[in-house]
């Protein structure tokens, strides 16, 4: 009996612990759900058409809130991106091995449904090493061989809030003939080493020291913009035999343009139909509108992205026969239609989405996820030159409107001469406006009936245009109801209708409401905040010093007019004092007056501003901005006091 | 928006069990089928010209598209000498608006597992558009519009999208799915997110297979017929094995049961808040294999009673048998027996051990994925791995735990009328003590105490799995409520500013919710968010207690300062004291309700506020309120008193006693909240006496 125990003691002498949790410095535990113990990325460029990325990542999960994000690993792959291996191990708090990941425990899944794509070869493998007790440490190793050298890997070790790092490294080795391009962001001093060159290749190295966890603050730029990062890109690359250069925006644009070349032929009947517009509609702008209407009436968006198809457009003929395509295919098709109608246009690449950061203009690289169309119109007669931008994937978007999806940013025009970075339309406060008129009939118990007419223009109408086009009346009512910040209400009627101006799309919402407790009964008095629907909330109190810069929302113009019909048996005892604020962050005014017929009229207007355009402001400005918001909120909550007339 | 095709019910019932006690069903009686089966209501490739017109499709004028016909036919047939279930489906949809284009893209999930698989064949489709000239253009679905994706090991998704879709177009597609899943199957759903004008399902089943069919929903059948037919099959019969195996073809003629169900003009199904899962409300038929009667063989009864089901489960390698191989737990569990003589305390200690040993991975099922030892060594597993391990460990600790199988809220309601295992997807442990309430144990949620099931399990009823007997139904409705108590002491200062202290207590499911948030946000951010909701609040200090002791309520105490609303020193102050601590918005926002409000648990929300007035001020007490919901559904109580001349006490107490309120009760529930909000929004009038 003794012998086996003895021998097992000898054989199973515990290996040296790896990454024990108590070795983590106390400063790194603060506010951290997890701590990156090591994050070492190695990129080896094998040739213009192949690179190998190796990652070694060790994370100690400190509490349950870090488990889902860091106790698992997901690696995506596709026909141009292969996973050579995935390995993993998990250690307990003392650093003793708990479990070694087995190949059978690695799951494989298609991602075709993610993001609404129809045909897509993107898949992922994932491994789950989450543990029932914290802390524990996971160690993952994986290697990816990529044949899509248009994209080089990114390196951002501290990608999330509540995540500390002990350190991280990045090493890139590339043949000297294929020089590396990189852009460093917020790197601490000494993070970069001098490149080491041999006869045939050059090695670059970066290293990050320990850094405590950060917490996101309200109205801050995204973490991606604030954290250390090294963006990598090739100088020259090759994808499935198509060689290109990223030396400039011009060369990137040229590569994409050439991929699409010769794919713009249309069926002759369609060409003829478009050419006919030249005679029926001589005005170029009106002709472009006709073409756009034709597009919107006869096509729809279906995403197809397989291999090179992620960058190369499908031929215009396939859209003509099937009536569908993805953003590239529909833009290319529309470009061909416009050309046939005598209107030369350009496809443009853009990073789309209201939250998508603008292009880093000094670092030509593939930063785009969408294609749109740009149509320059020459001056003719008394009409000045103009540029029309078209969103070709929407069947309902207004002609020439980009909105929050693709406006206010840069796009890469694809021209026969190559790429050119240009600005898409800008939408300022006037193009992001909401004008509302409310009639409120109050009763003696604090309830009310109201009619509300809201006209939204430009960016402010984007969500409502979608609601108008895509939702049925029941769903519209549900959405509007869920967004009303009122205690208890019943929407008695609701109607949405398009109401554009000559330059901007608009939506008018007309609504009937029955409200309870909008007025507060206080003995013989009835109190009411006339700013029923347009109150701007305050900001959360600042706890400790503000650390991150201040990123203000897009400027907008918000106007509310409320006609308050006083219930019989009441008279006005007190009206809110007029307020006027003029600051760098916005201009505010509110006033309440009695109209000749006894009705009260409350008028409130806020135009928000961004002192430095879109650029973030220093953290120190937060207090000042908070004070502005506090004053606005105070004025927004001012009350009317009505008192019972002594009958 | 992707039109995920609800899967066809590949199998059909040889008897129909109607009148399920769950929904207000008006099924209508089953009738005998005519001798000659009526023709299908549509012919593929030949759309009705009237359907190409622009007008008059459906009462719901807002619909983005309407299903004109959705017709499925399932029959047993022989394919290459083997029996298979062949389902042909034809669907025709009218696209009314651009927002309905998504319905032209279809996904057909195809499962395969072991020897069983589903295969798609004979896919074809057309788009019909009437042009301005009255001519109808017919465009064919071609191969470029098809794509097959291997989603997981067991699931392939066949996708297709129809060409030339426009407003007013009629699209039509048909395909065949051949399945060899004889016992595992899904339902036929008659309803969709868009209106369905005609949904029909036909089944033809040889009388060798007996299936139970279960209808649920809120819509009546237009046709519900049962008839008799026959089928000829050529089956390969293999005898012997290896080199000596011989096979011979055998032609069989069998009589069949033929069913036909039609629902007409099904309205669009719309999700509402507080529903369990859409499947509980949609009109659909589900099936389970009940028995097999092969020629010249004894009838094999597969599902006649709970006794039989229990036997099946207990002899299953991944259920009962797995429970038997738990010796590896003995060393860890044994010390607990002596340490905790009290069974409930011991059960809690065993559960704690399992919680610390195995992490729930988020997957819900009642079959273990493998031997329990494996999950124990991996420290991770499904709900079944975790809770079967719990049952095994309880038994090792000399506690006679039984499995209770249930269906999670997201998986749908179970019928108590028939023992259909298909309906279940979860297992928990039950400890019975004579004279004591049932103790239900689950080891998937560390933030809940022993004896409290996770919220996902609150689906009314589960069933025990016992040796040699029927077992019984067990109520899952928790005795623990969702309770939130706020005890507030405020002092009013002469200029109108307030200072004070709040003691909050979260009990039952509210404690779990709060602990989860504190875990995610951290204490500081949690309090910051709490303060941020109330304009002008400052919270100079706070303390949490009981964060780690999940069997106790979670307490939060914080100090509060609120500046005066007006700078001057007025004669009268109007204080909305309760509102910042209350609900502020009616959770029942919408005026209409079609389906029951299923919260799953009872709730209690109490606010007790004491205000101390400055010298020289008095307050006018507001009126009390006492509102009751019908049938002991709950109440709202509001009281105001002045225990001393300078203090005011306000009490607001909401109690909701039912886990589920019917759609008819919705309006009284909504009204109760309206009045609660009105009372909480009332201002206390404080007057200067000098």
Beta pairing partners, B117? B112
8 Å CB contact between B511 and B550: yes
**CA neighbours within 13 Å on the CB side: how many for A167?**
8
Round to whole Å and give the CA distance between A340 and B160: 31
Query: Residues of A with CB below 8 A from B165's CB?
Result: 300, 323-324
Spans in chain A with pLDDT lower than 50:
1-10, 114-115
Chain A residue numbers touching B682 (CB-CB < 8 A): 520-522
- The b/e string for B142-160 (b: 16+ C-beta within 10 A; e otherwise) is eeebebebebeeebbbbbb
Contact flag B152-A112 (C-beta cutoff 8 Å): no
User: Using CB atoms and an 8 Å cut-off, which of residues 133-192 of chain A contact chain B?
Assistant: 133, 162
Q: Answer for the pair B491, B500: CB distance below 8 angstroms, yes or no.
A: yes
Low-confidence ranges of chain B (pLDDT < 70): 1-29, 54-61, 183-186, 237-247, 303-304, 565-569
Nearest-10 crossing angle of helices B523-532, B509-521: 110
Task: Answer yes or no: are the C-beta atoms of B409 and B458 closer than 8 Å.
Answer: yes
Minimum distance, in Å, between the CA of residue A239 and any CA atom of chain B: 24
SS in 3 state form for B259-294?
Answer: EEEEEEEECCCCCCCCCCCHHHCCCEEEEEEEEECC
Owner of token pair 């719901």? B60
Please report residues of A whose CB lies closer than 8 A to that of B152. 107-110
Cα dist from B141 to A222, B43, B59, B144, B331, whole Å: 45, 17, 30, 8, 64
Kindly report, residue by residue over B192-215, the tens digit of the pLDDT: 999 999 999 999 888 888 888 888
Q: Which chain A residues are closer than 8 Å to B677 by Cβ? A: 487-488, 516-517
In the three-class reduction of DSSP (H, G, I as helix; E, B as strand; rest coil), residue A194 is classed as coil
3-state secondary structure of B347: helix
Query: What distance in Å separates the CA atoms of residue B567 and residue B560, rounded to the nearest whole number?
Result: 19
- What span, in angstroms and rounded, lies between the C-alpha atoms of A242 and A423? 28
Closest residue by Cα to residue A488 from B598, B599, B675, B652: B675
> Which one of A469, A517, A527 has the shortest CB-CB distance to B677?
A517
Please tell me which of the candidates B152, B585, B683 has its beta carbon nearest to residue A522: B683
Closest by CA to B551, choosing from B581, B511, B582, B591, is B511
Strand B617-620 relative to strand B359-360, pairing: unpaired
Phi, psi values for residue A320, rounded to 5°: -60, -35
User: Where is A357: in which H helix or E strand?
Assistant: none
CB within 8 A of B342, min separation 6: which ones?
Answer: none
Closest Cα in chain A to B674: A488
Interface test with B, best of A67, A72, A322, A518 (most B CBs within 10 A): A322
Given its phi and psi angles, is residue A521 left (phi above 0), alpha (psi -120 to 50 degrees) or beta?
beta
Q: Is A640 helix (H, G, I), strand (E, B) or coil?
A: strand
Give the chain A residue whose CA is nearest to the CA of B105: A118
Closest among A639, A643, A460, A472 to A557, alpha carbons compared: A460
Residues of chain A neighbouring B355 (CB-CB closer than 8 A) = 132
Cα gap B265→B68, rounded to integer Å: 9
Place of tokens 């029951």: B596
Does a cis peptide bond (omega within 30 degrees of 0) precede residue B68?
A: no
Q: Beta strand pairing status for B482-492 and B603-612?
A: parallel
A298 SS3 class: helix
Could you tell me if B145 and B163 are in contact, meaning their C-beta atoms sit under 8 angstroms apart? yes
Q: A559 pairs with which residues across the strands?
A: A435, A605
Measured between alpha carbons, how far is A15 from B520 in angstroms, rounded to an integer? 34
CB-based contact B144:A322 (threshold 8 Å): yes
Give one word for B191, left, alpha or beta, with left for phi > 0 and alpha for psi -120 to 50: beta
Is A540 within 8 Å of chain B by CB?
yes
Q: Which DSSP string do the residues of B609-668 spell out, in sequence order? A: EEEEPPTTEEEEPPPPEEEEETTTTEEEEEEEE-SSTTEEEEEEEEEE--SEE-GGGHHH
Answer whether B517's CB lies under 8 Å from B530's CB. Answer: no
Contact B685 A516 (CB under 8 A): no
**Across-strand partners of A40?**
A56, A169
Q: Which residues of A touch B584 (CB under 8 A)?
A: 487
Q: At what angle do helices A268-280 and A284-298 cross, to 10 degrees?
A: 140
Q: How many CB atoms lie within 10 A of CB B21?
A: 9
Q: How far apart are CA B125 and CA B158, in angstroms?
A: 14
What's the half-sphere exposure (Cβ side, CA atoms, 13 Å) at A380? Answer: 7
Residue in A84, A208, A229 with CA at minimum distance from that of residue A153? A229
The C-alpha atoms of residue B443 and residue B360 are separated, in whole angstroms, by 8
Distance CA A69, CA A128 (A): 10
Residue B630: phi and psi, rounded to 5, are -65, 160
- Residues in chain B, how many? 690
Grouping H, G, I as helix, E, B as strand and the rest as coil, residue B5 is: coil
pTM of the full structure:
0.90
CB contact under 8 A, A110 and B356: no
Cβ atoms of A534 and A560 within 8 Å: the answer is yes
Report the largest interatomic distance among the alpha carbons of chain B, rounded to a whole angstrom: 113
Which tokens go with B175? 């395909």
Is the Cβ pair B147, A322 closer than 8 Å? no
Locus of tokens 């009204």: B671
Please give the residue of chain B at the shortest CA–CA distance from A104. Answer: B153
Query: What residues of chain B lie within 8 A of the CB of A114, using their CB?
Result: none
- Which residues are bridge partners to A85 per DSSP? A143
CB A577 within 8 A of CB B568: no
Does A130 lie at the interface with B, CB-CB under 8 angstroms?
A: yes
The two structure tokens encoding residue A62: 């400190």
Query: Distance (Å, rounded) from C-alpha B323 to C-alpha B318?
Result: 8
Q: How confident is the model over A424-446, as pLDDT tens digits?
A: 999 999 999 999 999 999 999 89
Instruction: Please list, residue by residue across B477-498, b when 16 or more beta carbons sit within 10 angstroms of its beta carbon and e when fewer do.
Output: ebebbbbbbbebbbebeeebeb
- Interchain pair B147, A118: CB under 8 A: yes
- The minimum CA-CA distance between A109 and chain B, rounded to whole Å, is 5
Contact flag A128-B361 (C-beta cutoff 8 Å):
yes
Nearest partner of A639 among A523, A522, A558, judged by Cα: A522
Backbone φ, ψ for residue A343 (5° rounding): -130, 90
Q: Identify all chain A residues contacting B590, using CB atoms and an 8 Å cutoff.
A: 477-478, 481
Alpha-carbon span B614 to B496, nearest angstrom: 10
* Angle between the N-to-C axes of helices B383-396 and B343-357, in degrees from 0 to 180, rounded to the nearest 10: 140
The alpha-helical segments, DSSP class H, found in B522-635 are 523-532
B64 vs A215, A472, A517: nearest CB: A472
Across chain A, how many H-helices and E-strands are there? 13, 38
With both helix axes pointing from N to C terminus, report the angle between A473-482 and A462-470 in degrees, rounded to the nearest 10. Answer: 150
Chain Cα centroid distance, residue A280: 41
> A residues 5-34 near B, CB within 8 Å?
31
Task: Enter the DSSP assignment of A288.
Answer: H
Query: In the structure encoding, which two tokens stand for residue A509, read together?
Result: 């919402």
Q: What is the pLDDT of residue A360?
A: 95
* Closest-CA distance of chain A to residue B674, Å: 6
CB–CB of B176/B120 below 8 Å? yes
pLDDT at A613: 83
């Amino acid at each position: 009996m003794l012998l086996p125990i003895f021998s097992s003691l000898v054989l199973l002498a515990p290996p040296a612990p790896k990454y024990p949790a108590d070795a983590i410095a106390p400063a790194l535990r603060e506010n951290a759900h997890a701590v990156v113990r090591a994050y070492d990325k190695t990129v080896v460029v094998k040739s213009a058409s192949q690179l190998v990325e190796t990652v070694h990542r060790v994370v100690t999960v400190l509490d349950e809130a870090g488990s889902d994000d860091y106790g698992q690993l997901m690696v995506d792959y596709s026909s141009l991106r292969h996973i050579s291996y995935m390995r993993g191990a998990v250690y307990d708090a003392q650093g003793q091995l708990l479990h070694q990941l087995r190949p059978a425990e690695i799951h494989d899944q298609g991602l075709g449904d993610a993001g609404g794509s129809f045909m897509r070869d993107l898949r992922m493998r994932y491994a789950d090493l989450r543990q029932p007790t914290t802390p524990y440490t996971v160690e993952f190793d994986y290697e990816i061989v990529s044949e899509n050298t248009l994209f080089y890997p990114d390196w951002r070790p501290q990608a999330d809030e509540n995540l500390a790092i002990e350190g991280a490294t990045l090493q890139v080795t590339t043949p000297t003939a294929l020089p590396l391009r990189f852009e460093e962001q917020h790197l601490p001093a000494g993070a970069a080493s001098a490149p080491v060159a041999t006869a045939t290749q050059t090695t670059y190295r970066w290293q990050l020291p320990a850094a405590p966890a950060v917490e996101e603050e309200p109205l801050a730029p995204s973490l991606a913009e604030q954290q250390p990062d090294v963006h990598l890109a090739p100088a020259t690359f090759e994808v499935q035999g198509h060689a290109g250069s990223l030396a400039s925006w011009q060369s990137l644009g040229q590569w994409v343009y050439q991929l699409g070349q010769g794919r713009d032929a249309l069926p002759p009947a369609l060409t003829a139909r478009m050419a006919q517009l030249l005679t029926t509609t001589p005005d170029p702008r009106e002709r472009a509108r006709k073409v756009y209407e034709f597009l919107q009436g006869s096509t729809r968006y279906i995403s197809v992205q397989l291999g090179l198809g992620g960058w190369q457009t499908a031929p215009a003929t396939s859209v003509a026969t099937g009536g569908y395509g993805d953003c590239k295919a529909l833009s290319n098709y529309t470009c061909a239609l416009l050309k046939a109608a005598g209107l030369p246009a350009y496809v443009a690449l853009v990073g789309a989405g209201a939250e998508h950061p603008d292009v880093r203009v000094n670092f030509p690289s593939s930063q785009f996820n969408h294609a749109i169309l740009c149509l320059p119109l020459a001056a003719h007669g008394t009409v000045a030159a103009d540029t029309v931008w078209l969103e070709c994937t929407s069947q309902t978007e207004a002609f020439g409107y980009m909105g929050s999806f693709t406006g206010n940013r840069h796009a890469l025009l694809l021209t026969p001469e190559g790429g050119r970075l240009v600005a898409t339309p800008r939408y300022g406060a006037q193009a992001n406006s909401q004008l509302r008129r409310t009639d409120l009939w109050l009763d003696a118990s604090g309830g009310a009936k109201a009619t509300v007419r809201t006209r939204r223009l430009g960016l402010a109408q984007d969500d409502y245009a979608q609601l108008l086009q895509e939702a049925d009346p029941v769903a519209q009512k549900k959405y509007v109801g869920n967004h009303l910040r009122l205690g208890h209400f019943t929407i008695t009627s609701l109607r949405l209708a398009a109401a554009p101006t000559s330059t901007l799309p608009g939506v008018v919402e007309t609504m009937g409401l029955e409200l309870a407790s909008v007025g507060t009964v206080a003995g013989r008095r009835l109190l009411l905040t006339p700013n029923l629907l347009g109150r701007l909330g305050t900001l959360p109190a600042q706890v400790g010093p503000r650390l991150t810069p201040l990123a203000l929302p897009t400027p907008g113009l918000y106007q509310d007019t409320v006609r308050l019909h006083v219930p019989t048996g009441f008279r006005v005892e007190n009206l809110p004092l007029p307020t006027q604020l003029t600051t760098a962050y916005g201009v505010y005014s509110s006033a309440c007056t009695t109209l000749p017929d006894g009705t009260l009229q409350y008028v409130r207007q806020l135009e928000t501003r961004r002192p430095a355009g879109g650029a973030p402001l220093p953290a120190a400005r937060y207090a000042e901005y908070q004070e502005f918001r506090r004053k606005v909120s105070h004025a927004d909550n001012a009350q009317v006091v009505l008192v019972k007339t002594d009958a | 928006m992707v039109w995920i095709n609800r899967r066809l019910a590949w199998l059909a019932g040889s008897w129909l069990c109607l009148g399920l006690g769950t929904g207000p069903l008006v099924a209508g009686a089953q009738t005998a089928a005519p001798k000659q089966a009526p023709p299908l209501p549509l012919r593929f490739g030949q759309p009705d010209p009237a359907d190409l017109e622009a007008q008059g499709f459906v009462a719901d004028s807002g619909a983005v598209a309407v299903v004109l016909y959705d017709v499925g036919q399932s029959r047993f047939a022989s394919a290459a000498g083997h029996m298979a279930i062949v389902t042909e489906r034809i669907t025709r949809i009218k696209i009314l608006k651009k927002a309905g284009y998504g319905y032209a893209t279809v996904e057909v999930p195809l499962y395969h597992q072991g020897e069983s698989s589903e295969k798609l064949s004979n896919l074809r489709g057309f788009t019909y558009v009437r042009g301005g000239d009255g001519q109808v253009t017919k465009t064919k679905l071609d191969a470029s519009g098809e794509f097959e994706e291997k989603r997981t090991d067991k699931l392939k998704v066949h996708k297709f999208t129809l060409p030339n879709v426009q407003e007013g177009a009629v699209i039509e597609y048909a395909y065949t799915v051949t399945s060899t899943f004889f016992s595992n199957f899904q339902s036929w759903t008659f309803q969709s997110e868009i209106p369905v004008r005609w949904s029909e399902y036909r089944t033809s089943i040889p009388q060798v297979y007996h299936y139970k069919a279960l209808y649920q929903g809120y819509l009546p059948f237009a046709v519900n017929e049962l008839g008799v037919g026959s089928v000829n099959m050529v089956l390969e019969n293999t005898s012997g094995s290896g080199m000596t195996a011989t096979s011979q073809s055998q032609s069989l003629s069998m009589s069949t049961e033929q069913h036909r169900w039609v629902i007409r003009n099904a309205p669009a199904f719309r999700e509402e808040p507080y529903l369990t899962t859409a499947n509980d409300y949609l009109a659909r038929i589900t099936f389970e294999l009940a028995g097999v009667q092969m020629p010249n063989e004894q009838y094999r009864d597969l599902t006649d009673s709970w006794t039989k089901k229990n036997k099946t489960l207990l002899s299953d390698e991944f259920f009962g048998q797995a429970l038997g191989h738990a010796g590896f737990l003995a060393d860890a569990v044994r010390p607990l027996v002596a340490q905790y003589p009290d069974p409930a305390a011991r059960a809690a200690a065993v559960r704690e051990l399992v919680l610390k040993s195995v992490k729930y991975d988020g997957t819900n099922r009642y079959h273990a994925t493998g031997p329990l030892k494996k999950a124990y060594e991996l420290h991770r597993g499904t709900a079944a791995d975790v809770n079967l391990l719990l049952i095994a460990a309880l038994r090792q600790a000399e506690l006679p735990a039984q499995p209770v199988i249930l269906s999670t809220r997201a998986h749908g309601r179970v019928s108590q009328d028939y023992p259909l295992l298909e309906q279940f997807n979860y297992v928990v442990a039950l400890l019975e003590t004579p004279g004591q309430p049932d103790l239900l144990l689950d080891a998937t949620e560390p933030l809940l105490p022993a004896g409290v099931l996770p919220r996902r399990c609150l689906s009314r009823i589960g069933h025990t799995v016992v040796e040699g007997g029927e077992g019984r139904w067990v109520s899952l409705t928790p005795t623990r409520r969702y309770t939130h108590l706020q005890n507030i002491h405020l002092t009013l200062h002469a200029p109108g500013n307030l200072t004070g202290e709040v003691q909050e207590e979260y009990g039952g499911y509210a404690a779990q919710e709060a602990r989860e948030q504190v875990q995610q946000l951290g204490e500081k951010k949690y309090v910051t968010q709490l303060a941020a909701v109330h304009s002008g609040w400052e919270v100079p200090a706070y303390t949490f207690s009981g964060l780690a002791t999940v069997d106790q309520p979670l307490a939060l105490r914080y100090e509060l300062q609120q500046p005066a609303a007006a700078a001057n020193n007025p004669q009268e102050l109007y204080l909305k004291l309760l509102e910042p601590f209350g609900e502020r918005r009616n959770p029942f926002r919408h005026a209409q309700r079609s389906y029951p409000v299923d919260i799953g648990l009872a709730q209690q929300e109490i606010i007790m506020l004491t205000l101390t007035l400055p010298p020289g001020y008095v307050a006018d007490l507001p009126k009390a309120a006492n509102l009751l919901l019908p049938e002991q559904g709950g109440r709202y109580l509001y009281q105001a008193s002045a225990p001393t001349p300078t203090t005011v006490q306000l009490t607001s107490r909401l109690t909701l006693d039912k886990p589920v309120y019917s759609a008819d009760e919705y309006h009284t529930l909504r009204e109760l909240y309206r009045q609660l909000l009105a009372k909480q929004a009332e201002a206390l009038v404080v007057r200067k006496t000098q």
